[in-house]
Structure 1
Amino acid sequence: MQTAQPVLTARALTKVYGSDATATHALAGVDTTVFAGESLAVMGPSGSGKTTLLHCLAGIVRPTSGAVMWRGTDIVAMRDAQRTALRRTDFGFVFQSGQLLPELPAVENAALPLMLAGMPRAEATARASDVLARLGLAGMDDRRPGEMSGGQAQRVAIARALVGSPGVVFADEPTGALDQSTGTEVMSILTSAAEAAGAALVVVTHDPGVARWCSRTITMRDGRVSGEFLAPDRSTPASAAQTEDAR
């Protein structure tokens, strides 16, 4: 079996908010790797640093120290404009509430990253319509978010994340605003769609039920990675998983 290649690597990441006596160490020296095509869950209680880690990996937040290597380039060293362009072209995002624009129909919400990158509207919406159809939303191009169920709106958010053929999709509590049944449906669609697109998937969650959809899980505590384990029916491209601290 061919070994998967790392596409995103964090080394010695720290993130400190404030200074002196008020300093908060959100990340305290994190090392982790995201492999091509895998789905990685990042679990931990509130305040463990999991969302800060996602934001640093995605180039949203600049860490205090350390490196984030994306296909051989340190995104920490990039200028803000370069990181913004990277998020628009190489990364996709799914958030807890979807963060769709209420005044736009589904197809334009999904096409937004392409149009912001300069693609003509007709071409961008045609591509977005195709992605929406593959996610089970054929015929709903003209519906606005307020005219859709929570699960349908999250599918639009998934379409928006995938429409630009990103290398990595980042999902921050993607089922947090949904009931259990709809959340299960959304995770099934998200993981299968990312896999079909050849994108790695990084999911931040506090819910073990969500993490079980992913091929690998790391747990966080006090700004550090405290454990790592694999889904029972998955193989790993990484070294042997460490499970003691994850129990």
Structure 2
Amino acid sequence: MNSPLVATDLVQTYGEGSNATHALAGVSLSVAPGESLAIMGPSGSGKTTLLHCLAGVLAPTSGSVVWKGADLASLSDRRRTALRRTDFGFVFQSGQLLPELPAVENAALPLMLAGTSRTEATRVAAAWLAHLGLAGLEQRRPGELSGGQSQRVAIARALAGSPGVVFADEPTGALDQATGADVLSVLTSATRSTGAALVVVTHDEAVARHCSRMITMRDGRVTGEYVHEEAAR
């Protein structure tokens, strides 16, 4: 059973004294299993910094991010890195697939890095690719796939390890509107079906509406919170 991801009073400060910049200024939130949360705001609002703190990529100046009873900041670098291979999945704007590997190996890579055998990792990855509508394309390399297909491979990679939380940073930023909407629909339904929480950073309200809940940010603070009841069902 997955746990909620809980952030309390997150502060992230760069510099000191009069030169200090507050990227986060006391952000608290939680994301429940199966819930999708959009973090929305203009450039410089702190949304990407918040995602990095939630994922354990960045240790906050103060405050805590608790996952399965542990404060991420209290964990060693090695343990946080391991979490990002096992408990957390990631989908980036450009997919960040390895161009020399076929789709199935790109999707299987986190499993293999975590110690799963190549045979089992590719079996799981192929099942996810089929689930996401890519059956028959397992051996195609990223250069042979459309932008939407590449993002589906990235989603398969994020989900193959059965993560508790999937983090998506502008996952449709490089796609046209129709393809982006299709990818978001696939991403939200796939995470909901596995019970994983989904955290999406975006500046696009159309993207945010696919998520069951949205917070808005400005100057490192949460300025609003909204529930999208249709997306939550």
The alignment's TM-score, normalised by the length of structure 2, stands at 0.97
How high is the sequence identity, in percent, across the aligned residues? 70
Specify the alignment match of 1:10 in structure 2.
Answer: 7
Is the contact made by 2:3 and 2:164 (CA closer than 8 Å) also made in structure 1?
A: no
Specify the alignment match of 1:175 in structure 2.
Answer: 172
**Does 1:202 pair with 2:199?**
yes
When structure 1 is superposed on structure 2, of 152-161 and 72-81 the one drifting more is 72-81
Question: Which residue of 77, 86, 108 maps to 1:89?
Answer: 86
**Does 1:26 pair with 2:19?**
no
The DSSP-based 3-state class of the residue aligned with 1:157 is helix
Specify the alignment match of 1:140 in structure 2.
Answer: 137
Q: Pick closer, same or farther for the CA change 1:234–1:128 going to 2, 3 Å.
A: closer
**Does 1:114 pair with 2:94?**
no
Matched residue type, 2:57: I
Bigger RCO of structures 1 and 2 (CA < 8 A, at least 6 apart): 2
Is the contact made by 2:34 and 2:193 (CA closer than 8 Å) also made in structure 1?
A: no
Is the contact made by 1:6 and 1:33 (CA closer than 8 Å) also made in structure 2?
A: no
Question: Which residue of 39, 43, 46 maps to 2:40?
Answer: 43
Q: State the alpha-carbon separation in 1 of the partners of residues 117 and 39 from structure 2.
A: 36
Specify the alignment match of 1:186 in structure 2.
Answer: 183
Q: State the alpha-carbon separation in 1 of the partners of residues 224 and 183 from structure 2.
A: 26
For the aligned residue pairs, the C-alpha RMSD in angstroms reads: 1.5
Gaps of 5+ in 1: 237-247
For residue 16 of structure 1, report the CA deviation from its aligned partner.
1.0
Q: State the alpha-carbon separation in 2 of the partners of residues 160 and 181 from structure 1.
A: 22
For residue 133 of structure 1, report the CA deviation from its aligned partner.
0.4
Partner deviation per Cα, 1:53-86 (whole Å, 9 max, x = no partner): 0000000111111100102111111110010001
For residue 232 of structure 1, report the CA deviation from its aligned partner.
3.8
Specify the alignment match of 2:124 in structure 1.
Answer: 127
Partner deviation per Cα, 1:135-168 (whole Å, 9 max, x = no partner): 0000111100011000000000000000000001
The DSSP-based 3-state class of the residue aligned with 1:228 is strand
The alignment's TM-score, normalised by the length of structure 1, stands at 0.91
Q: State the alpha-carbon separation in 1 of the partners of residues 64 and 4 from structure 2.
A: 13
For residue 18 of structure 1, report the CA deviation from its aligned partner.
2.2
For residue 198 of structure 1, report the CA deviation from its aligned partner.
1.2
The DSSP-based 3-state class of the residue aligned with 1:29 is strand
Q: State the alpha-carbon separation in 1 of the partners of residues 77 and 159 from structure 2.
A: 23
